[in-house]
Amino acid sequence: MRNVIHIFRRELGGYFATPVAYVFLVIFLVMASTFTFYLGNFFERGQADLQSFFTFHPWLYLFLIPAIAMRLWSEERRQGTIELFLTLPVSVGEAVVGKFLAAWAFVGIALALTFPLWITVNLLGKPDNGVILAGYAGSLMMSAGYLAIGACVSAITKSQVIAFVVAAAVCFAFTVSGSPLVLAFFAGWAPAGMVDTIARFSFLTHFNAITRGVIDARDIIYFASLVAFFLFANAAVVETKKAG
Amino acid sequence: MSAMIEIRGLKKYFGPIRAVEDVSFDVARGEVLGFLGPNGAGKSTTMKMITGFLAPSAGTARVCGFDVEADPIEAKKRIGYLPEGAPAYPDMTAASFLDFVAAIRGFDGAERAKRVAKAVERTQLADILNQPIDTLSKGFKRRVGLAQALLHEPEVLILDEPTDGLDPNQKHEVRSLIRSMAAEKAIVISTHILEEVDAICSRAVVIARGRVLADGTPESYEKRSRWHHAVSFVVPTADIGRLRSALAAHPDVGDFERTDGEGGLAMLTAMPKAGKPMLAELGTLARGTGIRIDEIREERGRLDEVFRNITTGPVSAGGTN
């Protein structure tokens, strides 16, 4: 556990040691606000909620989270530091969890910095702050899902570009499987059970449920098991690389 | 004293490539083992298996009695490892990097600060502690890597080319550092610099194409050289012929090798037939000729020649000296 904390600190510090963190934070905040106000019609809707803010999170995460996750393992492999890191007395599990938590904390910081939106909506009207909180919680859970996928893919290659592209593609598959576009494609001929299953595998389905203010145990279990699965796969990839 | 590092039948295949074929050796406390071999011989791969970075395809590596595969954490606690090229996180400062490694090594608070300070002192890093590692020169980077490997006072040190890319002064410092620690540790260094073997190793293992080809003290390698016990004379060039016929009378002298030098001087080297010392007797013979002798010396074995012979099969040595 203490190793996880040390790895966590180093990784999180690693984001802020370079301009990467600041570039990411600025772009995330600018894009999140742009989507909210222009595409989401925050003002025109005339409703005191952050629905128009959260709706775009899956699409924002789709390419921003792989950008955070891509360096986690690829960079270590490219720099050769992985040889140093994995010959320190840490278990692969500690390494995987420490890195994941650091990246997740970074996303958490980015998300927390959107607080002016929350203040704005409270100044303009009387929103249900419970629903907004649920929205933030859901967004954070969903980001964990994207991150776990990104971290796992990052362990496979030493090229950050490949890590980014592949992670974005996998994340895309997990996102759109719940979109009307994909579901309509299957709905015409596939049995309803199958369509339902596909939808259930989507981030969108679970995320939308949470942002409506309903935190269902099933949605939490979905994201938790998804994260657990991909972190487990991440550790397995690291172990496999060891065998050469 | 039981061995601190025990390697048995270590093999590593990368697909069809047989990087390490069959490597076995022991290293005891107090030994500095030089791991020699041409590039691509399997030195680094073997070291990666000892330190648990790569899993062997077959065979075992034990460090202080702990199997690196079965008990990796316990083994890794006892190893200080400098990987090839001394990788370190480029964005971190040397100070925060060492602090991180010390934290992972289980040191807290004052003890951590003390450990880092000691390692910094031993590797003379004080001046650059607060610089990001990617701004450091190659020599400083290497020393940061060494500091990281030393700070927990490990019983076993595995150093992959610790002096590669250092200038002569830095090489000297690193070698003194290794020598100063030799007594209480088992140290393995890989190198392809032969003078290093002479300078710090108590034993050398030669490996090529993934196999151990020779294992012995530096002296034992010198003995394999045809130059071992050869005697060289520096005399006026005009007298070379006369000296040569005088020395040829000695029963142990085989061949001669001649090198012309400056100022009308030349060097004649009498090669031994029997591998026995013959300096005193040849000296007497030479003085008996009345030739002016500027220098007499006994040659040591030539490690580079022995190394070539071992790793590539017999190579005819050129007639130069």
Q: How many domains does chain A have?
A: 1
Sheet of strand B32-36, all strands in order from the earlier edge strand to the far edge: B66-67, B58-63, B3-14, B17-28, B211-216, B203-208, B32-36, B186-191, B156-160, B79-82
- Contact: B87, A83; criterion CB under 8 Å: yes
B307: in domain? no
B146: in domain? yes
The span from the CA of B179 to the CA of B189, in Å, is 12
Give chain B positions within 8 Å (CB) of A240.
none
Buried b / exposed e along A81-119 (16+ C-beta atoms within 10 A): bbbbbbbbbbebbbbbbbbbbbbbebbbbbbeebeebbe
Residues B183 and B281 in one domain: no
| Low-confidence residues in chain B, pLDDT < 70 | 1, 313-321
What is the 3-state composition of chain A as percent helix, strand, coil, each rounded to the nearest 5? 80, 0, 20
Residues B107 and B207 in one domain: yes
| A92-118 confidence digits (pLDDT tens) | 999 999 999 999 999 999 999 999 999
* Residue B1 confidence (pLDDT): 52
B168: in domain? yes
Query: Å from B59 to nearest chain A CA?
Result: 13
Q: What is the CATH number of the domain that holds B241?
A: 3.30.70.980
B246: in domain? yes
- Contact: A89, B54; criterion CB under 8 Å: no
Range of the domain at A77: 2-242
> Who wins on pLDDT, A83 or B241?
A83
* Residue B313 confidence (pLDDT): 62
The span from the CA of A237 to the CA of A166, in Å, is 15
- Contact: A6, B104; criterion CB under 8 Å: yes
CA B321 to chain centre: 23
| A18-52 confidence digits (pLDDT tens) | 888 899 999 999 999 888 888 888 877 777 788 88
Residues B205 and B266 in one domain: no
Residues B100 and B128 in one domain: yes
Amino acid letter, residue B286: A
Helices A203-211 + A160-176 axis angle, to 10: 70
* Residue B318 confidence (pLDDT): 34
Among A81, A83, A90, A158, pick the best mutation site for testing chain B contact (most B Cβ within 10 A): A83
pLDDT, average across residues A171-191: 83
pLDDT, average across residues A61-78: 93
Cβ–Cβ contact B104 with A under 8 A: yes
Residues B135 and B201 in one domain: yes
B91: in domain? yes
Residues B249 and B200 in one domain: no
Cβ–Cβ contact B48 with A under 8 A: yes
* Residue A148 confidence (pLDDT): 97
The span from the CA of B193 to the CA of B38, in Å, is 10
Range of the domain at B114: 3-223
Residues B115 and B31 in one domain: yes
- Nearest residue on chain B to A90, alpha-carbon basis: B73
Buried b / exposed e along B13-29 (16+ C-beta atoms within 10 A): eeeeebbbbebebbbeb
Cβ–Cβ contact B148 with A under 8 A: yes
Token pair belonging to A41: 């019609």
Residues B165 and B252 in one domain: no
B308: in domain? no
- Domain edge (last residue) among B174, B193, B223: B223
Residues B135 and B251 in one domain: no
| A146-174 confidence digits (pLDDT tens) | 999 999 999 999 899 999 999 999 999 88
Give chain B positions within 8 Å (CB) of A94.
none
Residues B165 and B81 in one domain: yes
Q: What is the DSSP letter of B183?
A: G
ipTM, 2 dp: 0.88
B309: in domain? no
Q: How many domains does chain B have?
A: 2
Residues B260 and B156 in one domain: no
Q: Are B136 and B95 in contact (CB under 8 A)?
A: no
The span from the CA of A214 to the CA of A131, in Å, is 8
Q: Which long-range contacts (CB under 8 A, 24 or more apart) does A120-123 make?
A: A121/A48, A121/A49, A121/A50
